[in-house]
Structure 1
């Protein structure tokens, strides 16, 4: 029994248990099973395709951060879907990254390249992470708060910037090309 003037024992705070990511997606007869342990800041992402005519080999990648969401879409309307996996880094910036693959003529997968925000000076101004991704009306959208000079990490005052990307065929692979920048 504790005496009245004795402070209670302090138990160490425990982090909540990790929430594994496990989602099955399908579109146009092509399936993607996306999994990750989502435990800690370094994780393994696994994408198991199904329904491809030639190569259904699982894709395994090391990622920095945890999967926040995954979507399947056909942004270029070619009858071969893509899988988009959104990753949020650990830490106060919660920087977002993307791992994405396109089903090439429904036969095999090719990686989709998303250029860093820093590749466009206008888009990068005031960028400090906290990204959200979504497929919206045939484009990939990336939204984030805009920080003005002097803003602290928890309190941006510059509104929200939305970057809209269109899926295009590059020289050697698919890429998401910045098409429009909107602020609100």
Structure 2
């Protein structure tokens, strides 16, 4: 007697239910796989964005001279809001010790020239703050034969005329022993694109009444 034929109809529901169970398991497994694949793809995309942003922020390690003397400047630029800058004077007639201090923002470049006409190199640190590193400022260092000392850079928001139409995007350059700061002027109706031209401010390092070195505005003009 063929037992397989006799009991086939009895075990058929079991085989059928097992088939349904296997299909349901496979379905759930597929859903889980797609879910975790989506999460992994999203995580990798975010990681790529973070790595791209980090790659755009470069560590500064540069040396510049005016005449025979100059400075080596290093900055990790790891943080958006505050970073440590280290300055090492080079080839001065007397040994001047290295200094390190914290600055606001990220350091993008340095400028070296004689900005107070005393024959010794002065150092300008070009710093930027903001979500797009759009607001520029300067930390100034002037030198003599035996020491280097800081020079306070004026806040543009303290001058009503100079700050008119200002939204950042500063550029700093050196011209004949003076500092030039230029930035686009935004009119009241401007949104993303400035249409008011470019303002240029020319600075010089000079002693004030107390014989302390300061940045003085020599002139300002539009171009």
Smaller-chain TM-score range? 0.7 to 0.9
Is the Cα contact below 8 Å between 1:133 and 1:143 reproduced in 2?
Answer: yes
TM-score (norm 2): 0.72
In structure 2, runs of 5+ residues without a counterpart are 1-29
In structure 1, runs of 5+ residues without a counterpart are none
CA distance in 1, matches of 2:122, 2:202: 17
Task: Give secondary structure in 2 for the equivalent of 1:100.
Answer: strand
Greater helix share, 1 or 2?
A: 2
CA distance in 2, matches of 1:139, 1:85: 14
Report what 1:158 is aligned to.
196
Is the Cα contact below 8 Å between 1:112 and 1:175 reproduced in 2?
Answer: yes
Is the Cα contact below 8 Å between 1:145 and 1:159 reproduced in 2?
Answer: yes
CA distance in 1, matches of 2:187, 2:95: 47
TM-score (norm 1): 0.86
1:76 pairs with one of 91, 103, 116: 116
- Runs of 4+ residues over 6 Å off in structure 1: none
1:46 to 2:86 alignment: yes
Instruction: After TM superposition, list the pairs within 5 Å mapping 1:29-178 onto structure 2.
Output: 29-41=68-80, 42-54=82-94, 56-92=96-132, 94-104=134-144, 106-152=145-191, 154-170=192-208, 171-178=210-217
Deviation, 1:115, is 1.0
CA distance in 1, matches of 2:143, 2:187: 40
Aligned residues: 179
Indicate the structure (1 or 2) with the bigger Cα radius of gyration. Answer: 2
Structure with the greater relative contact order (CA < 8 A, sep ≥ 6): 1 or 2? 1
